[in-house]
Structure 1
Amino acid sequence: MLIDYLVFRVDFFIPGMETVGGFSVCSSPGLWNKEQIIELAVKYTHHPPAHWIHTKCTLGSLVEVRVGGGLYFDPIPSDHTVDLLLVAGGVGINPLHSILMHSVDLLRLKNQNTPRQTHLCYSAKNSKELLFKNSIIGVCQEFPDKFTCDFRVTQQEFEIEPDLQCYTSSGKISQEVLRPHVKPGRTLCYLCGPPPMIECVSRDLQCLGLSMDKILYEKWW
Structure 2
Amino acid sequence: MPFDRRVDFFIPGVSVVGGFSICSSPGLLEQERVIELAVKYTNHPPALWIHNQCALDSEVAVRVGGEFFFDPQPAAAAGNLVLIAGGVGINPLLSILRHSADLLRERADTGRGWETGTITLLYSAKNTSELLFKKNILDLVNEFPKKIACSFHVTKQTTQISAELKPYITGRITEKEIRDHISRETLFYICGPPPMTDFFSKLLENSHVPREHICFEKWW
- Shorter-chain TM band: over 0.9
Of residues 10, 14, 19, the one that matches 1:13 is: 10
Following superposition, the deviation at residue 220 of structure 1 comes to: 4.4
CA distance in 2, matches of 1:80, 1:100: 18
Deviation, structure 1 residue 74:
1.1
Q: Check conservation: 2:193, 2:219, Cα contact below 8 A.
A: no
Verify: 1:61 aligned to 2:62, yes or no: no
Work out whether residues 139 and 147 of structure 1, in 8 Å CA contact, stay in contact via their aligned partners in 2: yes
- Paired residue total: 214
Write the distance in 1 (CA, Å) between the matches of 2:168 and 2:147. Answer: 16
**Deviation digits for residues 99-143 of structure 1, max 9, x if unmatched?**
000000011011422421110000000011111111111111111
What does residue 35 of structure 1 align with?
Answer: 32
1:70 and 1:220 map into 2 onto residues whose CA distance is: 17
Q: Judging changes above 3 Å, is the alpha-carbon distance between structure 1 residues 9 and 58 closer, same or farther for their aligned structure 2 residues?
A: same
TM-score scaled by length of structure 1: 0.92
Question: Is the 8 Å Cα contact of residues 192 and 217 (structure 2) preserved in structure 1?
Answer: no
Larger mean Cα displacement after TM superposition, 114-123 or 53-62:
114-123
Aligned to 1:182: 182
**Cα RMSD over matched residues?**
1.6
Q: 1:80 to 1:212 in 2, by over 3 A?
A: same
Contact 2:78 2:114 in 1 (8 A): no
Distance 1:45 1:177 in 2: 34
Question: In 1, Cα distance between the equivalents of 2:29 and 2:162?
Answer: 33
SS of equivalent to 1:190: strand
Q: Which residue of 1 aligns with 2:19?
A: 22
CA distance in 2, matches of 1:78, 1:188: 17
- The 1-side partners of 2:38 and 2:137 are apart by 16
Give 3-state SS (helix, strand or coil) of 1:109's partner.
helix
Q: Which residue of 1 aligns with 2:140?
A: 139
Q: In the TM superposition, what is the alpha-carbon distance from 1:7 to its structure 2 partner?
A: 5.5
Query: Deviations along 1:56-77, whole A, 9 cap, x unmatched?
Result: 1111100000104433211123
Partner of 2:43: 46
Aligned position for 2:210: 211
Alignment-mate amino acid for residue 153 of structure 2: R
Q: CA offset at residue 219 of structure 1? A: 2.8
Question: Which runs of 5 or more structure 1 residues have no equivalent in the other structure?
Answer: 1-5
Displacement after TM superposition at 1:80 (Å) = 4.4
* Contact kept? 1:71, 1:218, Cα under 8 Å: no
Contact kept, 8 Å, 1:93 with 1:122, in 2: the verdict is: yes
Whole-angstrom distance in 2 between the partners of 1:78 and 1:151: 32
Structure 1 partner of 2:105: 108
Aligned-partner Cα distance in 1 for 2:44–2:72: 34
Give the match for residue 3 of structure 1.
Answer: none
Q: Which moved more, 1:44-53 or 1:204-213?
A: 204-213
- The 2-side partners of 1:117 and 1:128 are apart by 27
CA separation in 1, counterparts of 2:65 and 2:106?
Answer: 28
Shift of 1:210: 1.3
- Asked if structure 2 preserves the Cα contact closer than 8 Å seen for 1:123 and 1:153, the reply is yes
CA contact (8 A) 2:194 2:218 kept: yes
| C-alpha distance in structure 1 between counterparts of 2:68 and 2:44, whole Å | 24
Q: Which amino acid aligns with 1:134?
A: K
